[in-house]
Structure 1
Amino acid sequence: MIDRPQGFEPTSGTAVWAPRASLVEVVLEGTRLPMHRTERRGWWGLDRPLGPGTRYAFSVDGGPPLPDPRGLAHPDGVHGPSAVVDPALFTRRPDWAGKDVRGGVGYELHVGTFTDGGTFDSAVERLAHLAELGVDYVEVMPVAPFPGERGWGYDGVGLYGVHRAYGGPEAFVRFIDAAHAVGIGVVLDVVHNHLGPEGNYLSQFGPYFTPRHHTPWGDGLNLDDEDCEEVRAFLLGAARLWLVDYRLDGLRLDAVHALVDDSPRHFLAELADAVAGWEAEAGRPLRLIAESDLNRSEMVSPTGSVPGARGMDAQWADDVHHALHSFLTGETQGYYVDFGSAEVLEKALTRVFVHDGGFSTFRGKDWGAPLDPGSDLYDGHSFVTFLQNHDQVGNRATGDRISRTVAPGAQAAGAALYLLSAFAPMVFMGEEWAASTPFPYFSHLGPELGPKVTEGRRREFADVGWADETPDPQSAETFRSAVLLWDERDEAAHARMLSWYRELIAIRHARPDVLDPSLGSTQVQVLDDDTLVMRRGQVTVAVTRASSAVEVDLGAATEVLASWDDPRELAPGRFLLPGPGALIAHRPTA
């Protein structure tokens, strides 16, 4: 359990860490109340309680009022005061026995564009769709308060708070409880590697950052410099808040390779061990999913098992996405340069990391390390895979989805491979019906930073000739273009794709061979440049990107479970597969 300062609860606003201050005051509607030093070094406290709904701020050494670094509610935005949240919000709730999300079918969503309402309450209205699809858990993109009303959330500045435009803490609790009521777990994407540039006041309280480490966003979080213990506790406290108090089922940790930590025990290992303790305390499974660019199995190895083990339950597997995307689209520019062939896709589906110690052309150096498919430290469910996600769609110039680039049969083939693989699959919102809406990058920064983001985005894509096509991230229309059009699910082409995804997920849930997480359980045979066959025990997935029909031999006594276009059986187990497309079959063991 995190050692909170005496009398401090994250809902109260009566304590703050400011180790180098001579004076700290609570500011209440213009009135300043002096705080006193507590027994815990660097902490300041207020003896009188603050009632629910009270707006408050902190002043350090007579400076301007600043929002609480641990504030749960920021009703006036990232520059305004924080507000006290009623502790009853977290206690007067239905029982939840928990759900182990590891290996389940995930569904990534952005609250602001998931529905036309753009709130947690409006998202509740679509949970029935997700339950019918077969989703095991939703992964919610970051909800920490960020500047303006709209944004992806990765420039958040209040790591304990919930963005006001989404409905604040109360609405998030309602969403979590509603998802749990229909058997869907909830995972939150949290950003611990940096804070956004606008509204970030942490440095005015204490040494939250250190110049010892440089990251793409500036000085790194202080995980190993003077006073780092309190900074580590700050991050651990946020994780506990989400997992224990909010009752989330897991956290997705953004870009953990940017958490630079030279201390003897890496912060991620400390977090993993802490979560194990909270799991025992809460009596339900709690999971950590990392985004890591390192391509090393230590990330998903239990703490203490091998040198450098980080203890994550799973990590995103970008190489599998790149192999799928490049194979289906033919794109080999940028970080797709080493991908595209059927042979590379075969390696990704069986060994996860394509860059596993060899040369990465995009990085210009050797990268990663090989996995041991027979290891008992990790398995296929240690790796979350996808055909699309917010990064891989939104980091394209126009935010175009794969359904705008390839034929429906090609998307169907890609879906069959990742949804029926040994990995843990995750669907990106709207992907299941080949949504026509893009997901471009958008933000709502102030007049100083906003134009710089717009110009920087255009420069980013100038080298590939897309500068003129890049929408303005600051434009409200760019944001509105990403809002899902739910009515189009009933249109013929979209309805067909939705039916396909439901069918694939149903097969995944029903077939033990598909649920088998052992990496050695997958065999992939490349038939030609366009066609390959993936075998998962008795279940076989044949796919082709070819524009014409191809012949595939799946063996005798084969039962077709699903197909994108009806294949013609030429002989027992031998089919003419229309392309592009996919065929899923079951072949009983002789």
Structure 2
Amino acid sequence: MTDRSNPQIKNGRHYVSIYAKQQIQARITADLPAFASKRPGMGSKPYNNKTAATFRVWAPNANSVHLAGQFNSWNSTNIPLVSEGNGIWSFDVRSVTPGQQYLYVIRNGTQTLWKPDPYEEQIVNSVGNSIIFDDDFQWTDSSYSMPNWNSMIIYQMHIGTFNDTPGGVPGTFDTAIQRLDYLNELGVNAIKLLPVFEFPGDFSWGYNPSHPFAIETAYGGPSGLKRFINQAHNRGIAVLLDVVYNHLGPTDLSLWKFDGWSQGNYGGIYFYQDNRSQTPWGDTRPDFGRSQVRQYLRDNAMTLLNDFRADGFRFDSVLNIRTHNAGDNPDGWSLVQWINNEINATQPWKISIAEDLQGNPWITKTTGEGGAGFDSQWTPSFVHPIRIIIVPGSFDGRDMNVVKSSLESRYNGDAFQSVVYTESHDEVANGRSRVAEEIWPGNAGSWGSRKRSTLGGALV
């Protein structure tokens, strides 16, 4: 017989109380019961035909972590992530799709922090929300093979100015694609992009990355970078990425005090908590000795090689990875060894280049010899002497032995451990100019400027 006095039962049927309905509605997007995800990967990872996603974040000092986004009207409490017991929180969430925005809501004591995903590949802007990214892409470069290292002619490109549009709008990956045929005709077979990772605003060289995984929105985001690399590969052109691991930010830096914890007002879990954090660009040197931070930077590099099909890297200012204000930093040295070892073990045809600029042969010695394991390094012993020779108008006082010495310069007896050049962003800015402009200021198109700058190119 039906007990009609029970408010949970009506007309002989079970029904859900108002409170229970609210609870179900609150967790409608969640996979129940509330267990941590067993799926792999950090950040947001779509699954089930992109109708669901795993979310995973490292926040070891959090009391709780929740997910808020467009899929739950930005409710900060109804999708809790579950602690995995190691400082990592995760959850499988249903009824979410790529393109939706989200943030993590991290609570630590009295603090409530709304934070973007450190592993995001797409973001609204440098101070905006993370976006669930669909990693699928129709690659058409199956016949591509990377040029031999000893025949690489590298063109350094800044996406924002390479083929920009009138009206103060930065160039994009798509506008750069429009000029790839021109570079091909020049004989260029490798492009080295200045950093393309999300930075404050729309205009920057990129050496101030706020979000190391996110591809700059103003350039076209992660899909735009894939289109660019795909089209470059279809023309036989390799794409090398400039990565900045020696410091982060320092502005619009959501990793700063990410889970609310820090010591001595330093940057929290992603950064050194003492004067090792100090760099020429701010106190934001990552903690290269902390396993989770090392994993984060390693994952960044391998994501770019695997998911974006980049052909290699230029590591910016390795000097500020392998040293700090007090001297050598063995944490940084072992980090680059680890990353280089993994590249060599999994994709040995891809190249890892250091910008160290100290003339240190140990940078390009193998890790088995105790070296950093880079394949090549930028060479100051070429660019500066050669510019001194070709720029002055008078031939008086030119020492051709300087040219001979520059041409013979090499590391560990291998000429191809040196990347030689007459121009880079550092040589043509900061009060200086392109070689042709240095030769004849205001008349870079003159016959003499063009011929002498070409002579420098011939020496390269």
TM-score if structure 1 supplies the norm length?
0.60
1:401 is displaced (CA, Å) by 1.9
Equivalent residue for 1:120? 173
Equivalent residue for 2:388? 326
Letter in 2 for 1:81: N
Q: How does 1:145-164 map to 2 (within 5 A)?
A: 145-164=198-217
Which secondary structure does the structure 1 equivalent of 2:113 belong to?
coil
1:343 is displaced (CA, Å) by 3.1
**Selected match of 1:80 from 100, 124, 128:** 128
Q: Percent identity?
A: 29
Equivalent residue for 2:262? none
Distance 2:225 2:332 in 1: 37
**Selected match of 1:14 from 34, 43, 55:** 55
Distance 1:340 1:154 in 2: 36
TM-score if structure 2 supplies the norm length?
0.76
Equivalent residue for 1:270? 338
Any idea what the Cα deviations from partners look like across 1:495-527, whole Å, max 9, x if unmatched? xxxxxxxxxxxxxxxxxxxxxxxxxxxxxxxxx
* Contact 1:330–1:340 (Cα < 8 Å) also in 2: no
Letter in 1 for 2:87: G
Distance 2:332 2:220 in 1: 41
Any idea what the Cα deviations from partners look like across 1:525-584, whole Å, max 9, x if unmatched? xxxxxxxxxxxxxxxxxxxxxxxxxxxxxxxxxxxxxxxxxxxxxxxxxxxxxxxxxxxx
* Contact 2:140–2:234 (Cα < 8 Å) also in 1: no
Letter in 1 for 2:116: P
Which secondary structure does the structure 2 equivalent of 1:248 belong to?
coil
Equivalent residue for 1:23? 64
Equivalent residue for 2:288? 223
- Any unmatched runs of 5+ in structure 1? 332-338, 353-370, 422-590
* Contact 1:66–1:79 (Cα < 8 Å) also in 2: no
In 2 relative to 1, CA 175–101 (structure 1 residues): closer, same or farther, beyond 3 Å? farther
Distance 1:198 1:269 in 2: 29
**Selected match of 2:149 from 90, 102, 116:** 102
Letter in 1 for 2:330: D
Equivalent residue for 1:288? 352
Which secondary structure does the structure 1 equivalent of 2:337 belong to?
helix
**Selected match of 2:182 from 129, 139, 144:** 129
In 2 relative to 1, CA 202–120 (structure 1 residues): closer, same or farther, beyond 3 Å? same
In 2 relative to 1, CA 246–101 (structure 1 residues): closer, same or farther, beyond 3 Å? farther
Equivalent residue for 1:166? 219
1:96 is displaced (CA, Å) by 5.0
Equivalent residue for 1:316? 378
**Bigger Cα displacement from structure 2, 230-239 vs 287-296:** 287-296
**Bigger Cα displacement from structure 2, 263-272 vs 91-100:** 91-100
* Contact 1:240–1:278 (Cα < 8 Å) also in 2: no
Equivalent residue for 1:345? 403
In 2 relative to 1, CA 388–65 (structure 1 residues): closer, same or farther, beyond 3 Å? same
Matched, 1:380 2:415: yes
Matched, 1:412 2:451: yes
* Contact 2:250–2:282 (Cα < 8 Å) also in 1: no
* Contact 1:11–1:86 (Cα < 8 Å) also in 2: no
Which secondary structure does the structure 1 equivalent of 2:405 belong to?
helix
In 2 relative to 1, CA 31–255 (structure 1 residues): closer, same or farther, beyond 3 Å? same
1:93 is displaced (CA, Å) by 4.8
1:389 is displaced (CA, Å) by 0.8
Which protein shows a greater Rg? 2
1:101 is displaced (CA, Å) by 5.4
| Number of equivalences | 374
Matched, 1:37 2:83: yes
Distance 1:146 1:43 in 2: 26
Distance 2:345 2:63 in 1: 36
Which secondary structure does the structure 2 equivalent of 1:160 belong to?
strand
Letter in 1 for 2:315: L
* Contact 2:147–2:189 (Cα < 8 Å) also in 1: no
Q: How does 1:177-196 map to 2 (within 5 A)?
A: 177-196=230-249
Distance 1:182 1:92 in 2: 14
**Selected match of 1:199 from 233, 252, 264:** 252
Letter in 1 for 2:80: P
Distance 1:266 1:341 in 2: 41
Distance 1:265 1:107 in 2: 28
Distance 2:44 2:345 in 1: 22
1:21 is displaced (CA, Å) by 1.5
Q: Which structure exhibits the higher relative contact order, with contacts defined as CA atoms closer than 8 Å and separated by 6 or more residues?
A: 1
In 2 relative to 1, CA 172–264 (structure 1 residues): closer, same or farther, beyond 3 Å? closer
Any idea what the Cα deviations from partners look like across 1:342-375, whole Å, max 9, x if unmatched? 33333222125xxxxxxxxxxxxxxxxxx55xx3
